């Protein structure tokens, strides 16, 4: 599923190509690109849920939290997000690329992925997708792009 999300992000969203609205046409194109039908449906549903995060004010993590609050991860989250991933999220909060709300959106989307293997690189893609889709985070998106594409090999923290 991550392959499809990355393909869609690079092909349509990140490259400013107009995204086809018709899901059937998009599904057909993804099939022609070599993706499996079941994975395509899961990826499109994942993207719909990402868009829906912007439309509701009833989402608990959209509430403001104190600057001094600390995020405690559940056992399932710690299984999916290893120490490097959790450290990277904390780092992005410290440099104000992510806020508490966007961090929670990222974690929400990560936990909805249908994958056994999840890496730090996958997390970076999810962060880019969330920031791109979250209104008012254009500066954070640019910072994240700069961090990813302007980085030399190695960790930044």
How does pLDDT run along the chain (157 residues), one tens digit per residue? Answer: 888 888 888 877 655 555 545 778 888 889 999 999 999 999 989 988 888 887 655 554 555 566 667 889 999 999 999 999 999 999 999 999 999 999 999 999 999 998 878 999 999 999 999 998 888 888 999 999 888 777 554 554 5
Residue 140 lies in a domain: yes
Residue 125 lies in a domain: yes
Number of structural domains (the chain) is 1
Residue 68 lies in a domain: no
**Taking a C-beta distance cutoff of 8 angstroms, is the pair 107, 81 a contact?**
yes
What are the structure tokens assigned to 129, written together? 């997708």
Measured CA distances, 13 to 6, 123, 143, 156 (Å): 10, 17, 17, 26
What are the structure tokens assigned to 111, written together? 């936990």
Full residue range of the structural domain in which residue 94 is found:
1-13+22-63+73-153
Confidence (pTM)? 0.80
Give residue 68's Cα distance to chain centre. Answer: 24
Residue 135 lies in a domain: yes
Residue 34 lies in a domain: yes
């Amino acid at each position: 599923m991550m392959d499809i999300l990355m393909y869609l992000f690079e092909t349509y969203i990140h490259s400013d190509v107009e995204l086809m609205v018709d899901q059937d046409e998009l599904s057909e194109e993804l099939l022609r690109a070599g993706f499996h039908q079941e994975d395509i449906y899961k990826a499109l549903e994942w993207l719909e849920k990402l868009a829906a995060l912007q439309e509701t004010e009833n989402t608990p993590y959209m509430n403001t939290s104190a600057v001094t609050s600390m995020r405690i991860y559940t056992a399932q989250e710690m299984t999916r997000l290893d120490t490097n991933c959790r450290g990277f999220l904390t780092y992005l909060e410290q440099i104000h690329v992510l806020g508490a709300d966007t961090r929670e959106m990222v974690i929400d989307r990560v936990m909805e992925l249908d994958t056994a293997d999840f890496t730090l690189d996958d997390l970076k893609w999810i962060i880019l997708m969330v920031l791109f889709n979250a209104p008012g985070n254009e500066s954070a998106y640019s910072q994240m792009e700069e961090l990813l594409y302007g980085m030399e090999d190695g960790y930044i923290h």
